[in-house]
Amino acid sequence: MAQSAPLFGQVTVIGLGLIGGSLAAALRNGGLAGRLVAGSRSARTLERGLAMGLVDAAYQDLAEAVRGADLVFVAVPVSAMADTFAAIAPALGRHTIITDGGSVKGPVIEAARQHLGVHYARFVPGHPIAGKERSGVEAADAALYQRHRIILTPTEATDPAATAKVRQLWTAVGAEVLDMRPAEHDRVLAETSHLPHLLAFALVDTLSRQGDSTDIFRYAAGGFRDFTRIASSDPVMWHDIFIENRDAVLAAADEFAAGLARFRAAVANGDSEALLGTMTRANTARARFLAMNARTSYTHAQGATDEQLMKADNQAGQARNPVFHLTPGGRLNGQIRVAGDKSISHRSIMLGALAEGVTEIEGFLEGEDALATLEAFRDMGVVIEGPHAGRVRVHGVGLHGLKAPSRTLYMGNSGTSMRLLMGLLAGQSFASELTGDASLTSRPMERVAQPLRQMGAAIGTTGDGTPPVSIRGGRPLEGIHFTMPVASAQVKSALLLAGLYAHGRTSVTEPAPTRDHTERMLAGFGYDVQRDGATVTITGGGGLTACNLEVPADISSAAFFLVGASIAPGSELLLPHVGINPTRTGIIDILRLMGADIQLENERDSGGEPVADLRVRSAPLKGITIPQELVPLAIDEFPAIFIAAACAEGETILHGAEELRVKESDRIQAMADGLVTLGAEVETYPDGIRIRGIAEGAAFTQGEIESHDDHRIAMSFAIAALRASGPITIHNCANVATSFPGFAELAAGAGLGLTVSG
C-alpha cells in the first residue's frame, strides 16, 4: 500500500537486474520515491525497464543517472563496483546517500573509500539476502524483499543519519534489517553461502570427470540433485565472489577440510561415537539454523520440511503472535500426559553427560530452554541422540571427559542453563564463555559467581554483573560451606555441581526450602549426597553412573488441568506420572484446602524424584485465606489458582506473594485486570490479591484478555472458559508454545473449546 509521502524525492538504481529491478518495483509499488531513475551500460536493459514501468528515466551515462538523486542503490557485480563509484562520484549531490547490494563487503568498502571521496561518509554498505532462480530485469519482483533479511555493514566513517535512512528504506519494502561488522559479514557469508557453492561446483566437476559419469548422473538420487542445484548458479558472478572474498573463502575451505578429515578418520576407524557425535551435532545445528531463518521454534524446525518452514515464515509475516479463541462451557475428561518437567530435563542432560555409560531419558521437555542445555553439551563433545518424542540417549563422558567448546556457549533465554553451567564449568580444565539473548544478558549472575570464586573459580561478568560470563578453567577448587542469604535452587545447584570437582566437602545451607531436584538426581546417578535439615553436603572426587530415567510431567503444567477439572461440573481427568516433589506441591495442598477432589495414585520413585498419577474430579470449591507457608511452594501456579478462586464460594485472600510482581509479567496485576474484564470482583495488594468467587453457574462473562506475553496468564484464562457465559479471546500467546509444547492440542483433546489463529 502506497504511503502518503515518499521517503525520497529521487532514487537512482545503478544495475537494473533482479536485485536492482526488484528494489525499483518495490519502491514504485510503495510510493517510496517521487522519481525513479536507472543507470546501466546495457541499452536493452534500460529499454526493458522503461517498458515494464519500473523507472521513469534511464541513462547509459552513469553520472547523468545520479544527478539530483537523494539515494543511489548500486547493484552491479562486486568486480565492477570500483569503476561504478568512480563514474558516479563527480555527479553526486552534497547530501546524496549511496548504498549497495554487493555480497562481499571488504572490497566494496575499499573501492568506495578510494573513489567516492567526500561522499564516502554517506556510503552505507549493504547486502540483500534474497534471490531467485531467474535473473535479469525481467525477473524483477516487488515482493522479493518482503520478510527477507538485509545486512547493513556501516563503517566507523559512515554517517549514522545515512544508515538510519537506508534502514528505513529497507524496512518500508518489508525487509528485516540486521547490522554486522564488514569483516564478520564476509566471514559468515563465506561459511554459509560461498563455501556451499564452492563445494557444489567442485563435486559436480569431480564426478563429471569420472569415466562412468554418465551412469553416475543417470542414477543420482534426490539428495545429489538438492545439494548440487546451486552448481547451476552464474559462474561469472561466483568467480568474482571467490576472488574478491578470497581470504574468508579459503579459511572456510580449510575448516571444512579439517572437518572432512575427522569424519573420514571416523569412518576408516569404525569410530561409532565420533560418527554419531558429528551427525547428531550437524542434524540439530541445521534445525537451529532453519528455526532462526523461519522465525519459529527449534522444536518446530526439527520436524518440519524446508517447504513447511517457508510457509511458516510467510505466515509469520502476517501474524506473528498466536491468539487463543475459547468457546464457553464444557468439561475435561480422559487421560492426558502434560509436558515434562523443565528443571529436571535440564539436570538429566547435565548429569547424564558427566556419568559413565549411556543414560536413557524418557519424557524430556523439548522446549527452547532445555534444548539450549542439550546443545551446550553437544558443543563440549558429548554424543546425544535425539530428542525424538521425548526420548534422549546421552553417551556420558565421565566427570573429566568434557572437551573445550570451539565457540561461546549460547544459552538463549535459559537462566537455569547458564547458572548451573557456571558451577559445572568452573571445575573444568578448559576456558569457556556463556552468553544468551537480550533478556538473559540483562539478568544478574554475580549471586552465583561470588560463592564460586570463594571456591577458587576464576569467573568474570560484565561491570553490571551480567553475561557474557567468562570462566578461565584449570583452577583447583576447594569445598566451602555457604549459607545462602536468599533462597535459590539455582545458586545451590551451581555450588553442588562445582563441588563434584572440589577438594573436600561442599555444603550449602538455605534459609527456606527450594527445589531439590539436583540433590535427588545426584543420588539417582549414584553420588553420595548428605542432608541435614536445611543443609546439603557432597564430597568431591566421586563419580556418576549412567541410569535410565523418566522425566516426570511438570506439576506446574498440570496445574491448569487440576484447576480446569475442579471447576467444570462433570469433569474427571487422570494426569499420569506427575512429579510430586514436596517442594513443588503447594498447588495440590491449596486446591485441597479449597475442597478440590484430587487423589494421588500409584505413588513411586523415578530417578530419585517422587511421582504419582493425579486423578481430579469436579467438586464445589470454597474460598480460603492461603496459608503463608504454602506460598513459596506454589509461586508459579498462582495464576491458575486465581481462576479457581473466582469459581469458589466466598473470598480467597493471598498475602506474602510479592514475588509475583516480578515474574514474566506483573502476575498480580495482569490476572486482576483479566478477571475484572471477565466480570469478577477483585482487590489487589502490594503482596497479593482478594478474589470474590461465584460458587455456581458462570463465574465469568465473555471478553478479550491481554496475556502480556506471559504463558501462565494465557493458559490460566484459557481454562477460565470452562465457567464462562460467552467466548473468550486471549492475545499474544506465543510463549505458550515454548514453555508448554502442545498445550492447545492437549487441552482441546480433553474437552476445552480452544482453537488457535495466527
Residues 295 and 371 in one domain: no
Which position among 437, 636, 687, 710 bears the catalytic label? 636
Query: Could you identify the residue written with the cell 484478555?
Result: 705
Lowest model confidence (mean pLDDT) among 171-185, 227-241, 341-355, 600-614: 227-241
Instruction: Kindly list the distances between the CA atom of residue 566 and the CA atoms of 492, 559, 625, 753, in Å, as whole numbers in the listed order.
Output: 35, 11, 19, 17
**What is the tens place of the pLDDT at every residue in 502-534?**
999 999 999 888 889 999 999 999 999 999 999
pLDDT over 50 at 317, yes or no:
no
What is the per-residue pLDDT for 369?
83
Q: For residue 321, how many other CB atoms are within 10 A of its CB?
A: 13
Distance of alpha carbon 78 from alpha carbon 361, whole angstroms: 52
Model pLDDT, residue 737: 67
Question: What CA–CA distance (Å, rounded) separates 96 from 12?
Answer: 10
Instruction: Indicate whether 312 belongs to any domain.
Output: no
Q: Which residues are annotated as a binding site for phosphoenolpyruvate?
A: 342, 415, 443, 490, 667, 712
Grid cell of 207 as nine digits: 564426478
Does residue 2 register a pLDDT over 60? no
DSSP bridge pairs for 98: 72, 123
Per-residue pLDDT at 211: 64
Mean pLDDT of 144-163: 94
Dihedral-angle region of residue 703 (phi above 0 means left; psi in -120 to 50 means alpha; beta otherwise)? left
pLDDT at 205 over 60: yes
Percent with pLDDT over 90 in the chain: 68
The domain that holds 120 is classified in CATH as: 3.40.50.720
**CB under 8 Å to 258, separation ≥6 — which residues?**
none
Model confidence over 718-735: pLDDT tens digits? 999 999 999 999 998 887
pLDDT grade for 665, boundaries at 50, 70 and 90: confident
The DSSP secondary structure of 182-222, one letter per residue, reads HHHHHHHHIIIIIHHHHHHHHHHHHHHTSTTHHHHHHT--H
Bridge partners, residue 598, by sequence: 616
Q: Which of 120, 150, 180 is where one domain is finished? A: 180
667: pLDDT strictly greater than 70: yes
579 and 631 together in one domain: yes
How many angstroms separate the first and last alpha carbons of the chain?
22
Are residue 579 and residue 510 in the same domain, yes or no? Answer: no
pLDDT in tens, 616-640: 999 999 999 999 989 988 888 999 9
Q: How confident is the model at residue 134 (pLDDT cuts 50, 70, 90)?
A: low
Range of the domain at 733: 555-757
Residue 134 CB-density burial (10 A; 0-12 exposed, 13-18 middle, 19+ buried): exposed
Grid coordinates belonging to 695: 460458587
CB atoms within 10 A of CB 32: 22
Q: Report the pLDDT averaged over residues 43-70.
A: 94
Overall average pLDDT of the 593-597 stretch? 97
Of 127, 151, 180, the residue that ends a domain is 180
Please give the helix or strand (H or E) that residue 39 lies within, else none.
strand 33-39
Q: Cβ(551)–Cβ(337) under 8 Å? A: no
- What average pLDDT does the segment 294-310 reach? 48
Which one of 501, 529, 550 terminates a domain?
550
Where residue 233 sits, what CATH number does that domain have?
1.10.3660.10
Does residue 713 form part of some domain? yes
- Examine residue 319 and state whether it is found in any structural domain, yes or no: no
pLDDT range class, residue 275, cuts 50, 70, 90: confident
The chain-wide mean pLDDT, for the chain, equals 89
Residue 47: pLDDT over 90: yes
Residue ranges for the known binding site for 3-phosphoshikimate are 342-343, 347, 488, 490, 636, 663
HSE toward the beta carbon, residue 213, CA cutoff 13 A: 9
- Evaluate whether residue 331 is within a structural domain: no
pLDDT tens readout for residues 87-104: 999 999 999 999 999 999
Whether 602 and 738 share a structural domain? yes
**Residue 27: phi, psi to the nearest 5?**
-65, -40
Domain count for the chain, please give it. Answer: 4
Binding residues: 342-343, 347, 415, 443, 488, 490, 636, 663, 667, 712
User: Is 50 exceeded by the pLDDT of residue 165?
Assistant: yes
Is 186 annotated as catalytic?
no
